[in-house]
Amino acid sequence: MGMACAGCAANVERHLRELDGVNSANVNFAARTALVDYDPDRISLQQMKEAILQAGFDLVVEEDRNVEAIEKRAWRMLLRRVVVSWVLAVLCMSISMGWILVGDVNMRNQTLFIIALMNLVYCGRPFFTSALQRLRHGETNMDTLVALSTAISFLFSAFNTFWGEQFWGSRGVEWNTWYDASIMIITFVLTGRLMEARAKNSTASAIRQLMGMAPKTARLVNGDELSEVPIATLQPGDIIEMKAGDKAPVDGIITTLMGNEAPSGAVGGTDFLMDESTMTGEPLSDPKQPGDRIFCGTIVHQGRCRYKAQQVGEQTMLAQMIRMVQQAQGSKAPVQRVADRIASIFVPTILLLSLLTFLAWWIIGGEAQLPRALLSAVSVLVIACPCALGLATPTALMVGIGKAAQKNILVKDATALEHLRMTSAIVIDKTGTLTIPAPQVPESSYSAATTREALKPHAREAMQTLRDMGIDIYMMSGDKEEAAAYWAKQAGIDHYQSRALPQDKEDLVRRLQAEGHHVAMIGDGVNDTQALALADVSIAMGKGTDVAMDVAQVTLMGTDLRRIADAILLSKKTTGMIRQNLFWAFIYNVVCIPLAAGVPCLFGHDWQITPIWASALMAFSSVSVVLNSLRLKFTNT
């Protein structure tokens, strides 16, 4: 909490990494989250919180369960400040433009002085508090620029209000007040942050949808009685009853089937069916039997059952999915680290440019150009925006990873999402990945059995789509030559190898990489883990072994292999969005800073960006980056 720009995120990250016992820390400015790997025997979360508080920020520990309340409180406070600031800004502009008449010029300026002071004290206080905290630690951030620019505008205007005529008039220098600038800077920046917060809230919609899958209560069986209890009270071993339309509150094993009722308007049947699209991508499961698994968040489509709770709370598959998506959204792609390094030196560079702008105008025009020198220096301070630069990568990644989660593609880290786009060769396991395992049959009856062994639905379509994308596909199988050849042909795969051992899969990945390919390995078993660990991108099937899913960077929930192409296309679109955001963030500063500094005036064009327009453009640049990233939510991929 308390981060104003990417520079703040870099400072928080640095403070965390310097703590004894912290192995690594990644701070995501867009998500306002910190992903920390630490040794609990050497440092506690409370100690981290105290260290961050001393640095001028706040660390809200997830286990406190008050994150949402704190965010809502901060949102309401920000909204109040925006409303008050706009009221004062309209009042200031009305007086400045003569729409509201307030005595003579002196009375008008004194009235504006009071309005601007009210705006600084109430609406602008967070900027000054943050800037002073950063100064005490020898650091700077976006609030430093806002505090400096508004303070200079206000103090220069206050000086002119009470001593302007005596000081400037006696020297023959034209003077004015900039109260509207000091107010509008704060108004536009606060408005921009409010819009950012609203837009960034949309980037986290995938997480909220996942969190909303779990019901709030469960029907607990206690002897012959049923009682509605909060799911937080459930323990492993509890027996839970569900009927058609209910969401499963925890993971568990079916113990008893109790009837065939269906939801209102649906056709009843004799089977117990679950809608497992949230976990596997499949809208309806095969008929469930006692002993079958049920996952938290899945919905009873037909029938009634009782089942025994096994994994509850943070141990459920749904909770693990949420945690994986949160960690992925909080991780950093390689391109973001470059942007972070630039952002960390951005504010000091802008402070220097602002000072040089002031000195250049003073030296060129002497005392007569002092008002323009101050105006130009303030404009440079205001228009520079490390926020846009800091938001460019994480907002796109958050939306991209969230979009992937909605398609049952779980991405473990941002690096995988960035690297998927470069895939030029895929090594895919056969049994369990490309085909559905079936009982072994004698070789003599192999051809007859194949008409039933087992190609996954849409597998051939998925392989054709990948080939159309220019990707080479290699199938590896431990099966006999005849079986491997048959299934490769059925799937439309030209390259295959039979009787493959784990080392053979690893060797193939190495050979393809040596040939210059960017290799994705897709598997589901322990025998695939060597190749998964070596591949540039590793993809596991959601119904595979735990070992394979632990090693893999991406997990496909369900059996639909078309999600592979979706993941690659989403990677390309996300990376393209990041490049767009970074381009516009850089171009914005490259173009706008010289205009704010008054460079056109040196060539006879009496035009430059004023502090008011600078604050509006700065706010717009940050909001535009977030809104551009949100376009990913509506992609067809």
* Those residues with Cβ within 8 angstroms of residue 85's Cβ, 6 or more apart along the chain or in another chain: 119, 123, 183, 186, 187, 190, 191
Catalytic residues, which ones? 429
Q: Is 124 exposed, middle or buried (0-12, 13-18, 19+ CB in 10 A)?
A: buried
* Spatial separation of the C-alpha atoms in residues 159 and 165, rounded to whole Å: 10
In this structure, the dihedral spanned by the alpha carbons of residues 518, 399, 346 and 20, taken in order and rounded to 10 degrees, is -80
What are the φ and ψ backbone dihedral angles of 35, each rounded to 5 degrees?
A: -105, 110
Strands 472-476, 495-497: pairing is: parallel
Strands (E), 529-599: 537-541, 554-556
Strands (E), 155-249: 217-222, 225-230, 239-242
Tokens of 458: 């849409």
Contact of 556 with 399, CB cutoff 8 Å: no
**C-alpha pair distances (Å), 110 with each of 97, 159, 170, 216, 522:** 15, 11, 21, 58, 72
Side-chain half-sphere exposure of 299, counting CA atoms within 13 A:
14
* Those residues with Cβ within 8 angstroms of residue 286's Cβ, 6 or more apart along the chain or in another chain: none
Contact of 155 with 130, CB cutoff 8 Å: no
Contact of 392 with 581, CB cutoff 8 Å: yes
**C-alpha pair distances (Å), 594 with each of 140, 363, 389, 557, 620:** 22, 18, 18, 51, 18
Contact of 271 with 256, CB cutoff 8 Å: no
Length of the chain: 637
* Spatial separation of the C-alpha atoms in residues 164 and 256, rounded to whole Å: 88
Contact of 296 with 250, CB cutoff 8 Å: yes
* Those residues with Cβ within 8 angstroms of residue 23's Cβ, 6 or more apart along the chain or in another chain: 37, 38, 39
Of 405, 380, 539, whose CA–CA distance to 462 is shortest?
A: 539
DSSP string, 403-461: HHHHTTEEE--HHHHHHHTT--EEEEETBTTTB-------GGGHHHHHT---BPTTHHH
* Spatial separation of the C-alpha atoms in residues 511 and 524, rounded to whole Å: 21
Q: Tokens 């001593």 map to which residue?
A: 163
Work out the angle at residue 174's Cα, subtended by the Cα atoms of residues 169 and 179, and round it to the nearest 5 degrees.
105
Q: Is 454 exposed, middle or buried (0-12, 13-18, 19+ CB in 10 A)?
A: middle
**C-alpha pair distances (Å), 380 with each of 4, 594, 620:** 18, 8, 16
Tokens of 155: 């103090």
Bridge partners of residue 522, in order along the sequence: 428, 539
| Sign of the alpha-carbon dihedral angle for 167, 173, 175, 181 | negative
